[in-house]
Amino acid sequence: MTRDDPFGGMASSRLARTYYVDGGGNRDSKLRNLLREDYGSSSLYLRMFQEDVGHMLPWRSGSSADARFVVTLEGADDSTRQLVLDSLPGRNGPPRILEDGIRDFVEATSRDLTLGPSHFEVVFFSDDAGDLRSFAFEPLMAKSVSRSRRRVIQMVPAEPGLPTRRGIPFVELDPARIITIELPRPLRRALSKAVPLWRAAANQSLRGTDLLIDHTRGYDFKVQQRLIADQLLRSTAKIGWSGRDLLTEATLDPYKVARHLNFVSFQIEVRNAIVAGLQRGLDLAGTKIGFKVKLGLDQVVTLDDVEQAKADLNAGTQHIGALMRIER
Amino acid sequence: MTIAEWKLRLLGSAHYWIIRSRFRAGLGRMSAGRQAVSVGRTSVSERVRAVLSLARKFGWVAAGSLLLWVALEVGARVASAIPGAPFATLTNRVTSGSYGDLLSAGVGAVATFLGLYWATVGVVASTVYQAAPAEVRSLFIEQRSGTALVRGIVYALNLGLLLLAADTIGVAPPAASLIVFAALCAVATLRLVVLGSQLFNFFDLSQLGRPLPARFRVAVRRAAIGRSAHDGLSQSIAHEEASRIVELYESLTALITSRRYQHADGPTRLARQLLLVAAANASMKNAIPTSSRWWSQQARHQNWLTMDHTRLSMSLATATGPSPELVPDHLWVERSASASLRDLLAAAIAAGGLPQVVAICDSVADAGRLLSARFQVLEALELIAGVQELLLANGPTRPEDANVQGDRRTLNDMAAAERSILLLTNVWLGFISSLESLLRSDLPAIFEKSVSNPHDAYLSGLPRDTTTLLADIGEKIGLEVRSEGHRISPNWWVSHYAARSVSRYVRGTLDLLEQRLAKQPLEIIAGYRAMNRPDLAVVAAVSTLELVNKMQVHISTVQQTFERLHAFRKAETDNSEWVTTEVQIEDALDLRDTISVVLGELLPTIAGPAHNERFPDLYGQVHQNLAERTFEAIIEGRVDTARSLFAVLLSEVDRARNRIMEDLQDRDSQTKVLYSVEPVVAVMELSGYAALFQEVNGEGIWDDVVTMWETLLPAGTGGPAVELLVASVNALDGVFAITTGGLMRSERAQRAREQLRQRGLHSDGRYARPGHQRGATPSQSTVGPITGLILDDLGLYDDLIDVFIAEYLEAKLSTGTELPARTRSVIETLRRSRKKADGSGGSDD
């Protein structure tokens, strides 16, 4: 067991498979089609949104060892804290500090959540004596998992002897160890309305070039962009995302701030849903291994902060530039 | 697929854009149709008015004819009811054979009328209007009265021809047709009589312009009010109509100025019509949207040093320049009107119509005031520019205009010179009244109303940039409501930017006006001096002093406006930079000093032997003004101006005295003495003030004043000049009546005391008035003897003449010279004060 591989030499309870969507081993076109919907989106707006929504916890400044927010683990001693740190999948290998691990997990999961529920498997590691020593959260590709009341299956590339569903092979997972994270219903509804629009808008913007080349009568690029922006802003008020100001270019400063604050609210709700899912995973792992901790985040923007910012905007008691900088 | 998704997909479809384009074109055609109907309605109503006007003119004759016909008909019926009546045959219905001749004669007559009318029109068009542009000829041919006549004739002719045709095919027409035909023939004849009386109008170009202001009003209303104001095609149609009218005036002006007119009525009539056009434009233009096609377009070229990256790289890569941007020209009507006015008034002056031109100038000044009161100062300056240019270039009547009498000519020239400044004064007053209306208005409510409906922004009456901004904000707030279901941008944010925009207008306008006022009057005065017309230069200079006075009086309104607007400033916005709200009066005061010095230079050149009551007393006016300005310059510490003006007054003492003596030669000797000593005592009094304020300020013109007196008075004691001064003082002392000069001196003393009080100098407490802070006052010992004297004696020593005598003249008096007791007292008091200050004894008693 090393810092880079905290689970070395231990037996894993992992059932899910890891594979690449377009990897050499995956020649199953049905599976590729199913999964590409998640990751192969050609929509400019959707891709930008997925990137932006993940940026909800601040990065460390430069080479500083200190995070700009604090992860609290109530009831955890040093060894439990280390266990939790080891359980988190890092962006580039195991995270060095808890804050990095939580931020990477939240960021990766938030992208999945834009398209539907996100799942991760709680994997336990036991020593030679069969005692549970450690655990890990293993994210699963969102669309590869299908969950019913009693079963959880993962669609995987073809292997001899695997059962299939609608022509796609799958493996059975342990429902008790699969944690599913879902956004609150209003946010899910807002996203299910917005995502097709972002896709459609990106396509229509691309079509604009063809219309220009063809000298289509009456076509006006600026008018088209204004109408697209108008429609997108109108349909995504709950989410608040402004397409990196592409959509709000011709709007007033207070509106830009209000959209920004709405988007920060959205991000906070996504963050809260992910942290709640992680807590469920920790509760499960704690029950098995023998610890009880409560995960929390400090020094992060809360919904109360956003409400206060909205009140400040209305009353004119805060500089507009400062309100635009409220984030994460 | 949701509706929103479907709409987005639609935006990428070529069909959508093609259908959208067709739909908009259809809307445009509908709008054009509505417009045509509206234009037609206007045209019909104009024709109806023309017909009614004609009907009014021959109404009595027509009514008489009708009465005659009724009497004949009634008579015929009565006669037919009486068997054996002598006139029974009149009641019989006529046969075709009997009315054929009547018809032929009637048709022949109206056809001849028609031919005559067109022949006349043709002759006039091919002679008088030979060189006129096609638009002007059309205007002449389409004159409403003429059109109404032609229509009446054509109706009669057609009916007559139909009756003849009916006869040839054997159809018996009803008797009523004959009567109607005859009536139409009669009306046509009567119309021709009326039109014939207007025949000479055909030669008057100004008559052609009469319907144009009304047409312009209709066009500008179309661009400003109602649905058509926001419809692109209607805006274009309105602009075309208005620009046609403006061009017609340009053409008429060119025609009228190319003729040698013997009378100024024609050009002045056209000028008045142009002013009506300008007034209609001024009253409506604030309501016209900034993006409207009503405005002419002018090119705005890019600044290469501040160009955005895309354009710059594209231009450099292709070795081309970016296309200029087309921006609305908000002054297109005023610019054209100003140029035409200048030419028309020049033609009027050439025809000896300076009095009419002066009257027009008053109207232009009123129009300028109206425009600037509506936040249209640029427009006002544009409108008056042509007239100012004209007044300077052609103002004084030229010697060759022999048809103008000498006195009248001079008076007219003076009136014109006064107007050259009055135009600017009115623009300033209009600007101030626009600020006063701002101060009275509920600005937050106006801002809110403007953004709640962008169309309302243009009815707010605020400056153009502000209404444009508010309309833009209103449209963007509309987007907020559409996307979020409610408005986001708060009131404070809107008010901040709107008030900031108004402040920028006020600052920009104030700077512009101050710049113009600092330059133009001096140019005008210099122009008149160059023409060797000092009298006109004086008139312009005195008018400028009035203007400066108005600026001084109203500058507090500007300050209040800045303060009111600044209250809306919020540092929390992204752009809280604000214009300087400081208001400087120094420039105006400098101008006042400069003008006063110029007046001082001009004073000797306008002095006649006596006042001529047929003309304004320029010499007396300037003399009095200079005395006042000199006093102000002394107490305000404007040393150079004070020195220069005092020298003028001192050198003019004899001339002024002689003039007064000449003017009062029929009056009693006491009156003569009372008035003739005033120029003398005025310079003595001013010298006293020079001594006082030199003592207060530590610097001043007292030394120069003494030097100037030294050049006048001989060395040693006594002499006629000294005796004159003493006699003047004694003469005043012997008079118990309240004189104008005495009252003026008291007023000046009050102002001087006020000036001292403002500097913290006043009595040490013995006579302290309520409100004075004793602890903060300098003690008696800290002020000089003259100051102490003036401050302590509650007006007893208001007259600074005594100070001059004590400080200077006493040394020149011969032994035993009689002086008033008050003067002796002042001399003694000052002597004691000085001794006390030197520590050499003396008593306060």
Residues A75 and A152 grouped into a single domain: yes
In this predicted structure, the answer to whether residue B776 has a pLDDT above a threshold of 60 is no
Instruction: Say yes or no for a CB contact (<8 Å) between B573 and A204.
Output: no
pLDDT tens sequence across B68-77: 555 555 665 6
pLDDT tier for residue B63 given thresholds of 50, 70 and 90: low
What mean pLDDT is predicted for residues A302-321? 93
Average pLDDT, chain B: 80
- Model pLDDT, residue B70: 56
- Model pLDDT, residue B381: 93
Is A3 part of any domain?
no
In this predicted structure, the answer to whether residue B675 has a pLDDT above a threshold of 80 is yes
What mean pLDDT is predicted for residues B688-702? 90
**Higher per-residue confidence, B128 vs B448:** B448
In this predicted structure, the answer to whether residue A104 has a pLDDT above a threshold of 50 is yes
Lowest mean pLDDT among A201-215, B164-178, B294-308: B164-178
pLDDT tier for residue A204 given thresholds of 50, 70 and 90: confident
What mean pLDDT is predicted for residues B529-536? 88
Residues A110 and A147 grouped into a single domain: yes
In this predicted structure, the answer to whether residue A308 has a pLDDT above a threshold of 90 is yes
Residues in chain B closer than 8 A to A204 (CB atoms): 8-9, 11-12
Residues in chain A closer than 8 A to B574 (CB atoms): 253, 320-321
Residues A25 and A56 grouped into a single domain: yes
Spell out the long-range contacts of B131-137 with Cβ–Cβ below 8 A and sequence spacing 24 or more.
B131/B255, B131/B258, B132/B251, B132/B255, B133/B251, B135/B244, B135/B247, B135/B248, B135/B251, B136/B205, B136/B208, B136/B248, B136/B251, B136/B252, B136/B255
* Closest CB from A204, A231, A252 relative to B4: A231
Is A76 part of any domain?
yes
Percent of chain B having pLDDT more than 90?
25
**Cα(A250)–Cα(A268) distance, rounded to whole angstroms?**
27
Residues A74 and A120 grouped into a single domain: yes
Residues spanned by the domain of A222: 186-265+303-324
Nearest residue of A to residue B476 by CA position?
Answer: A251
pLDDT tens sequence across B741-770: 888 888 888 888 888 888 777 655 443 333
Residues A47 and A64 grouped into a single domain: yes
- Answer yes or no: are the C-beta atoms of B812 and B722 closer than 8 Å: yes
**Cα(B460)–Cα(B224) distance, rounded to whole angstroms?**
13
In this predicted structure, the answer to whether residue B357 has a pLDDT above a threshold of 80 is yes
Chain A CB within 8 Å of residue B18 CB: yes
Residues A314 and A241 grouped into a single domain: yes
Instruction: Say yes or no for a CB contact (<8 Å) between B479 and A258.
Output: no
What pairs with residue A119 in β-bridges? A140, A180
The amino acid at B33: G
Residues A34 and A112 grouped into a single domain: yes
The residues near B234 (Cβ < 8 Å, ≥ 6 apart) are B31, B34, B35, B222, B223, B227, B228
Query: Reduced to 3 states, what is the DSSP secondary structure of residue B5?
Result: helix
Instruction: Say yes or no for a CB contact (<8 Å) between B14 and A208.
Output: no
Instruction: Say yes or no for a CB contact (<8 Å) between B7 and A231.
Output: yes
Instruction: Say yes or no for a CB contact (<8 Å) between A255 and B488.
Output: yes
pLDDT tens sequence across A59-86: 776 556 666 788 999 998 999 999 999 9
- Model pLDDT, residue A255: 95
Residues A56 and A67 grouped into a single domain: yes
In this predicted structure, the answer to whether residue B344 has a pLDDT above a threshold of 50 is yes
Is A26 part of any domain?
yes
Is A288 part of any domain?
yes
In this predicted structure, the answer to whether residue B502 has a pLDDT above a threshold of 90 is yes
- Residue B36 is inside which H or E element, if any? helix B14-81
pLDDT tens sequence across B598-649: 999 999 888 777 777 778 888 888 999 999 999 999 998 899 999 999 999 9
In this predicted structure, the answer to whether residue B259 has a pLDDT above a threshold of 90 is no
In this predicted structure, the answer to whether residue B92 has a pLDDT above a threshold of 60 is no
Is A4 part of any domain?
no
Interface probe, candidates B483, B487, B573, chain A, greatest A C-beta count within 10 A: B483
Query: Reduced to 3 states, what is the DSSP secondary structure of residue A295?
Result: strand
What pairs with residue A15 in β-bridges? none
What mean pLDDT is predicted for residues A225-236? 88
Characterize the bridge pairing of strands A152-155 and A178-181.
unpaired
Instruction: Say yes or no for a CB contact (<8 Å) between A218 and B573.
Output: no
Instruction: Say yes or no for a CB contact (<8 Å) between A254 and B490.
Output: yes
pLDDT tier for residue B242 given thresholds of 50, 70 and 90: very high
pLDDT tens sequence across B94-151: 566 667 777 777 778 777 777 777 777 677 666 666 666 666 666 666 665 566 666 6
Instruction: Say yes or no for a CB contact (<8 Å) between A233 and B483.
Output: yes
Residues A124 and A85 grouped into a single domain: yes
pLDDT tens sequence across B573-599: 888 889 888 888 787 888 889 999 999
Residues A208 and A283 grouped into a single domain: no
Is A57 part of any domain?
yes
- Model pLDDT, residue B791: 75
Residue B587 phi, psi (nearest 5): -60, -45
Residues A176 and A194 grouped into a single domain: no
CB pairs under 8 A between A and B: 111
- Model pLDDT, residue B145: 56
Instruction: Say yes or no for a CB contact (<8 Å) between A218 and B22.
Output: yes
Residues in chain B closer than 8 A to A197 (CB atoms): 2, 4-5, 8
A interface with B, Cβ–Cβ below 8 Å:
193, 196-197, 200-201, 203-208, 211, 214, 216-220, 224, 227-228, 230-235, 237, 250-255, 258, 313-321
Lowest mean pLDDT among B170-179, B293-302, B398-407, B461-470: B398-407
**Higher per-residue confidence, B181 vs A268:** A268
- Model pLDDT, residue B139: 62
Is A115 part of any domain?
yes
- Model pLDDT, residue B768: 37
Q: Which two tokens stand for residue B795?
A: 């007006």
Lowest mean pLDDT among A92-96, A151-155, A196-200: A92-96
pLDDT tier for residue B817 given thresholds of 50, 70 and 90: confident
CA A222 to chain B, closest CA, distance in angstroms equals 12
What mean pLDDT is predicted for residues B532-551? 91
Residues A94 and A117 grouped into a single domain: yes
In this predicted structure, the answer to whether residue B64 has a pLDDT above a threshold of 80 is no
CA B488 to chain A, closest CA, distance in angstroms equals 6
Task: State the total domains in chain A.
Answer: 2
Characterize the bridge pairing of strands A145-147 and A152-155.
antiparallel
Is A1 part of any domain?
no
- Model pLDDT, residue B508: 94
- Model pLDDT, residue B779: 45
Instruction: Say yes or no for a CB contact (<8 Å) between A258 and B484.
Output: yes
Chain A CB within 8 Å of residue B7 CB: yes
What mean pLDDT is predicted for residues A271-298? 94
Lowest mean pLDDT among A28-42, A157-171, A241-255, B212-226: A28-42
What mean pLDDT is predicted for residues A22-51? 72
- Model pLDDT, residue B229: 80
- Model pLDDT, residue B47: 66
CA B486 to chain A, closest CA, distance in angstroms equals 11
Nearest residue of A to residue B484 by CA position?
Answer: A237
Closest to B588 measured CA to CA, from B428, B465, B727, B702: B428
Closest to B709 measured CA to CA, from B699, B697, B719: B719
Percent of chain B having pLDDT more than 70?
79
* Closest CB from A216, A228, A231 relative to B17: A216
**Cα(B380)–Cα(B373) distance, rounded to whole angstroms?**
9
Interface probe, candidates A217, A223, A252, chain B, greatest B C-beta count within 10 A: A252
Q: What ipTM does the predicted assembly reach?
A: 0.84
Which range among A238-252, B227-241, B652-666 has the greatest average pLDDT? A238-252
- Answer yes or no: are the C-beta atoms of B215 and B245 closer than 8 Å: yes
